[in-house]
Amino acid sequence: MAEKVRVALDRLGEMYGSVGELLRLPETRRALAGERWVTRELDASVTLLDVCAAAREAISSVKQQAQDLRSALRTRRGGGGAVRAYFRTTRAAREEGARCLRILKQMERKRAARPPRSAAAEGLTEAAITVFRSLSSVMSQGPRRAPAGEKRGWLPEKMKKRTAEDVSLLGLDGRPRREDDTAGLEAVEEAQRQLHRLEVGFQGLEAGLEAAFRRLVQHRVLLLNILSQ
């Protein structure tokens, strides 16, 4: 799922680039000067920037906690505390995802009540809302079992069915393992592998969100320039 959202973010960036080229044309700027929809799209850009920044911060926090947890499991020290910190961070990310989802749904309702004025620019905003809704929906759902053959979720499979307090039962508390504790060592190693995959996925999302944020800022500047003519 992370890869699908990252690809969608990349495509959204390309769309912003294409529309930006159109808005930079002198004839386009003259035609749109004074149009009421420009103000409307400026307002929308503020909301999208807020959502993008919030999602980026949440993704970055989860990625950092995943790195910290993997390091704790690797060194066999403090794994239980790292798991509890990871749970807290993912819970905060779920809450942030749900908040962003509510904002985007409200934004959609308001836009649906008004007639469209510019297919290109407003269609771009609608595409951005769709992409950020997909991301926010994934964030708000949090850990869940993935369908067969699909890797997704906030938490390694070995840890999904337990609370942070139960982590020692799975051999993920970072305590030294006996040489004959094969099950415990395998659980730690599998958790490390899954955490690494999560880190890679989150890193791609983080990069995609940073690029999208820059595109949104550029788009807002273009709209402000048109409005000031």
The average pLDDT across 181-198 equals 74
User: pLDDT at position 112, please?
Assistant: 82
pLDDT at 187 over 90: no
131-183 residue pLDDT tens: 999 999 888 875 444 444 444 455 554 444 444 433 443 444 445 445 555 65
pLDDT at 96 over 80: yes
User: pLDDT at position 119, please?
Assistant: 59
42-85 residue pLDDT tens: 999 999 999 999 999 999 999 998 888 888 877 766 567 788 88
C-alpha distances (whole Å) from 28 to each of 34, 126, 223, 225 are 12, 21, 11, 12
| Of the ranges 4-18, 24-38, 135-149, 166-180, the best mean pLDDT one | 4-18
Q: Provide the Cα torsion 202, 203, 205, 209; round to 10°.
A: 130
What's the chain's average pLDDT? Answer: 79
User: pLDDT at position 174, please?
Assistant: 46
pLDDT at 128 over 80: yes
Name which of 7-21, 53-67, 176-190, 204-218 the model is least confident about. 176-190
How many Å apart are CA 53 and CA 210, to the nearest integer? 8
pLDDT at 193 over 70: yes
User: pLDDT at position 127, please?
Assistant: 94
User: pLDDT at position 16, please?
Assistant: 94
User: pLDDT at position 114, please?
Assistant: 73
How many Å apart are CA 105 and CA 103, to the nearest integer? 6
Could you tell me if 86 and 172 are in contact, meaning their C-beta atoms sit under 8 angstroms apart?
no
How many Å apart are CA 155 and CA 145, to the nearest integer? 10
Pair of tokens at residue 168: 């020692």
User: pLDDT at position 182, please?
Assistant: 60
Could you tell me if 172 and 156 are in contact, meaning their C-beta atoms sit under 8 angstroms apart?
no
pTM: 0.79
The average pLDDT across 8-17 equals 94
Spatial CB neighbours of 69, under 8 Å, sequence gap ≥ 6: 79, 82, 83, 85, 86, 195
User: pLDDT at position 92, please?
Assistant: 93
User: pLDDT at position 120, please?
Assistant: 63
